[in-house]
């Protein structure tokens, strides 16, 4: 599939949409009511649905965001930022709760603790989703199934599959066995599950990533593409498990790298690339985002990511990176 073909590809990104506020660099919190000068404060669209939608739109796909924001200035700003990147926001509903937001103090080494308000994402339900839009899409990406619950998420994903739509899913919350039980009904309807390594280990209680991924494949997931920071990604199906190294970049902020990986990987899948080549696209997209603040960082397109993915990764295993 060419870039022109991908430009006609329709994606619906359902679920978590967040406004991120980044502050760097922060080494300590000021005492009492004292202030502190920082190098940069930036705002960006984010979330396992919203962030992935932004990167997919940058890669040239037709993307609709479906989720909830508040009736507040933050919601208006989030919609504007998404629209500016080419995401159709007509599927975002408004709720009385405040817009979901995170404040992320970025440390000099790239660590990023966060304060997060769930806000309107907690009021989003399956009734807010245009099922005809989902049925007409080439891909349904569900970011944050824990907010819908597994039964509702399973109905949404099952509806998509029944109409020939490829399905993918990514979690926002940390993984644990209770979370696995909560979203279990969704798993048999997922073509591509996109967790990070900590989520996957938490969900399954299995330390080895390959075995942990295979445990979820055993629950009905078609393929697991798990990100592991500087170690890149691991793609696991019933038939194979292949590690795909990360790229050597100067890391400024790792916020949104997982969502960027998801977008690059899914673009590769939709373009007909092999799972391993798709994961290389994912790592290449994440490498762009890691070099600045926020999920929307970087001036790149599909051709940039595809060319980047042709390079040989040189980052040693265990280093920090995309």
Q: What is the pLDDT of residues 65-124, one digit of tens each?
A: 999 999 999 999 999 999 999 999 999 999 999 999 999 999 888 788 999 999 999 999
Rounded CA-CA distance 104/208 in Å is 30
Q: What is the pLDDT of residue 170?
A: 97
Each residue's pLDDT tens digit, 204-233: 999 999 999 999 999 999 999 999 988 999
Q: Which tokens belong to 41?
A: 């404060």
Q: Name the DSSP class of 48.
A: T
Q: What is the pLDDT of residue 140?
A: 98
pLDDT beneath 70, residues of the chain: 1-4, 312-322
Rounded CA-CA distance 26/23 in Å is 7
Q: What is the pLDDT of residue 321?
A: 34
Q: What is the pLDDT of residue 322?
A: 34
Q: In degrees to the nearest 10, what's the CA dihedral of 238, 197, 63, 138?
A: 10
CA distances from 106 to 58, 77, 103, 112 (A): 24, 22, 10, 5
Q: What is the pLDDT of residue 253?
A: 83
Rounded CA-CA distance 102/241 in Å is 34
Q: Are 195 and 265 in contact (CB under 8 A)?
A: no
Q: What is the pLDDT of residue 316?
A: 37
Q: What is the pLDDT of residue 254?
A: 84
Q: What is the pLDDT of residue 250?
A: 86
Q: What share of the chain is helix, strand, coil (3-state, %, to 5)?
A: 40, 25, 40
Q: What is the pLDDT of residue 1?
A: 54
Q: Please name the residue ranges forming H helices in 116-174.
A: 131-135, 145-148, 150-162
Q: What is the pLDDT of residue 2?
A: 53
Rounded CA-CA distance 14/254 in Å is 23
């Amino acid at each position: 599939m060419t870039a022109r073909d991908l430009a006609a590809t329709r994606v619906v990104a359902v679920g978590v949409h967040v406004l991120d506020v980044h502050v760097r660099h922060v080494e300590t919190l000021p005492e009492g009511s004292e202030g502190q000068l920082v190098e940069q404060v930036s705002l960006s669209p984010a979330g396992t649905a919203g962030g992935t939608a932004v990167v997919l739109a940058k890669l040239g796909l037709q993307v609709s965001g479906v989720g909830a924001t508040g009736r507040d200035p933050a919601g208006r700003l989030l919609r504007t930022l998404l629209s500016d990147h080419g995401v159709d926001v007509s599927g975002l509903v408004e709720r009385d709760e405040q817009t979901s937001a995170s404040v992320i103090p970025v440390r000099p080494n790239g660590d990023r603790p966060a304060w997060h308000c769930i806000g309107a994402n907690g009021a989003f339900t399956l009734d807010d989703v245009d099922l005809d839009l989902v049925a007409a899409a080439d891909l349904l990406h569900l970011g944050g199934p824990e907010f819908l619950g597994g039964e509702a998420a399973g109905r949404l994903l099952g509806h998509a599959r029944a109409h020939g739509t490829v399905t993918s899913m990514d979690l926002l919350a940390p993984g644990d066995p209770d979370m696995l039980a909560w979203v279990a009904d969704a798993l048999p309807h997922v073509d591509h599950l996109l967790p990070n390594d900590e989520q996957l280990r938490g969900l399954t209680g299995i330390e080895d990533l390959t075995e942990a991924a295979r445990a979820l494949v055993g629950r009905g997931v078609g393929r697991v593409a798990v990100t592991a920071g500087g170690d890149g990604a691991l793609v696991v199906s019933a038939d194979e498990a292949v590690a795909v190294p990360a790229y050597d970049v100067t890391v400024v902020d790792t916020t949104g790298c997982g969502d960027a990986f998801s977008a690059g990987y899914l673009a590769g899948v939709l373009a007909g690339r092999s799972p391993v080549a798709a994961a290389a696209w994912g790592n290449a997209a994440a490498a762009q985002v890691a070099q600045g603040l926020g999920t929307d960082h970087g001036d790149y397109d599909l051709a940039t990511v595809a060319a980047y993915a042709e390079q040989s990764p040189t980052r040693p295993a265990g280093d920090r990176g995309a």
